Structure 1
């Protein structure tokens, strides 16, 4: 007997199947129909439960990160080898009975109920990074639940190009400088800023364009734009434009140091030489700030100060910038989400 299995992997490079099988189909995002198929799969999964559950939420996140779908026929005898390959490939499986299963074919989600032993799919390196983050936060006195999942693994990661990150940094800097000048009652003309920051104007997001051209923005819009210094600090760190490490988010960044660094930059030269830090360093910060953000939101719900002296505004801006860097859900700057 053979079993038809559709597998959904989040890895950039899926290992070649090393077990007896018949390959019926394979597609990635070069196939324009895959995105619609995955959206339909998410809706199907949601239809199996009346309420959101932990497993359903993270299954949905997995489906939103899928890079490759394969359709395979596998004999009963080859299923153990299939499961070993599936675990390495970080997949969830869909079977003809309508169930969604883990690499070992335990039921993650089905109309008739789930298997309590089913394991949500995350690469081993992501679990290791989570354990490191949990240990660091515990040492800092920041309390987060053990069930918070990992974030991306390096095998799943597709970072923004370094040149795009530099342009985004220029846009954030221009917006934040303009906001600061407005807040101080000495607005800097946008033409002057555009001349001093030649990459900025073309890199502005739609929301930033509106702010840029508004002669008298609302006070809250100015405040929000001033906070962009904290997101900018992440990109400056990621691009190695400053030797300063990305410290704990328990204090606002040194704006004068940022300004000195970026106003003194030869932007065209920097664009030609732009290079990001290693992916592992960026993911370390993302995993940690995901947990910091959870702790800040929990503190707000409980109407208390966050653990470890965390500053929620700094954490939120950093999490936004890091999620943009790793192309979380493929969102552009204005649409980036920071779920915890």
Structure 2
């Protein structure tokens, strides 16, 4: 075995370099290249190298969106002898946002393991061995691959940015959470009570009616182009047409960087086009927030794309479109965002168990609705293309 991985829930990694240097201060030379640490032993004989690569949810979002659900699935399949411990482990995994991948040039011996567990203690995370053994921050075994418990007195830890636990941030948030749980319970959809609240209204930076309207029009236009790309139609003609539409409605500046890059790419990627086309569902939440559709139906059927197009195409200008809109209440929008947040957890939970999403939900619909709603409420001040999908 020459790999050891530390996972943690942290607000930042500003202190990591100092911690690594402190652990390897004796007998090693350490060179740093951004978030990579190259560590070389100073011994005259039996020299060896260690590499530590640090990744966060911000620097490597694809890694976390792919591997954290996989890690949850792995430990969910283990037959824990202690179900309470399993709940603690699953809670911890769900809030991990930082990873330290350690690779040793030689087999990890007792001396190296002592160094790695010292770093684990300094960082305050959990240690993962390739055989599935999970360690607490003191290096004690939490659980073995066969489900038997180790000696660790384990308690999960979450950074304030990734709070996941029963603490109440506001009475308003708790009431909203309770309403969402009642909605799920009524439909037989699984949920967990320790998922956090969304912020109260006073802490939300909800987008203005005009911001939502411009985002809706710009998004719809680039989605139409994406559909043409996905269907292998005449890209040059399509691109010119939809650039003209953006100019007609005056929303060229309201594209995201990813949308702009896709629109102007000489050879746009088909998978990117398919992903963009799914954002019809995010667009649907925008026009719902603008009062242009009555309700957001349960996410088991795709939206009415023809109607989605007509809502804008029936208008000759952005101003005419804007005049048809009426902003919904902030309370109603935040309630819907909270509901979609918890529905998303149910989808992810089913997926990692290898099961169909409950109540016939389509996870792609839920994800895109969450994107739209979380953008509207200004969740964590994240940009459209960077809405976190942690559950």
Counterpart mapping for 1:22-171 below 5 A:
49-51=124-126, 56-57=157-158, 59-61=160-162, 120-171=167-218
Q: Kindly tell me: are residues 306 and 323 of structure 1, through their superposed partners in 2, closer, same or farther at Cα, counting changes over 3 Å? A: same
Q: 1:119 to 1:291 in 2, by over 3 A?
A: closer
Q: Distance in 2 between matches of 1:259 and 1:58?
A: 42
| Corresponding residue to 1:253 among 303, 309, 313 | 303
Please say if residues 323 and 338 of structure 1, whose CA atoms lie closer than 8 Å, have aligned partners that are also in contact.
no
SS in 1 for 2:299: coil
Cα distance 1:138–1:297, how it changes in 2: closer, same or farther (>3 A)?
A: same
**Matching of residue 279 in structure 1 with residue 330 in structure 2:** yes
Cα distance change of structure 1 residues 47 and 314 upon mapping to structure 2, 3 Å threshold: farther
Shift in Å at residue 273 of structure 1?
7.1
1:130/1:150 contact within 8 Å kept:
yes
Change in Cα spacing, 1:48 to 1:219, as seen in structure 2 (3 Å) is: closer
Determine the C-alpha separation between the residues in 2 that align with 1:229 and 1:172: 8
The 8 Å contact of residues 228 and 238 in structure 2, kept in 1 or not, is answered as no
Q: Given the alignment, which residue of 232, 246, 250 partners 1:185?
A: 232
CA contact (8 A) 1:170 1:199 kept: no
Structure 1 residues 255 and 56: CA distance shift in structure 2, 3 A: same
Work out the CA distance in 1 between the residues paired with 2:294 and 2:232.
31
3-state SS of 1:189 partner: helix
Within-5 A mapping of 1:259-270:
259-265=309-315, 266-270=317-321
For residues 155 and 333 of structure 2, the distance between their equivalents in structure 1, rounded to whole angstroms, comes to: 26
What's the C-alpha RMSD, in Å, of the aligned pairs?
Answer: 2.8
Aligned residues between the structures: 242
Q: C-alpha separation between the residues in 2 aligned to 1:238 and 1:246?
A: 10
Cα deviation for residue 311 of structure 1 reads: 0.4
TM-score normalised to structure 1 length: 0.65
The residue matched to 2:267 in structure 1 has which SS?
coil
Deviations 1:129-186 (A, max 9, x none): 1111111111112111122222122222220122111111122101210111222333
Which residue of 1 is the match for residue 343 of structure 2? Answer: 292
Q: Is the 8 A contact 1:55 1:120 kept in 2?
A: no
Matches of residues 220-235 of structure 1 in structure 2 within 5 Å?
A: 220-235=271-286
Q: Which residue of 2 is the match for residue 195 of structure 1?
A: 244
* Structure-2-length-normalised TM-score: 0.57
Gaps (5+ residues) in structure 2?
1-97, 99-120, 127-136, 138-153
Give secondary structure in 2 for the equivalent of 1:176.
helix
The answer to whether structure 1 residue 212 and structure 2 residue 268 are counterparts is no
Aligned mates of 1:123, 1:137 — CA distance in 2: 21
Contact 1:249/1:314 (<8 A) preserved: yes
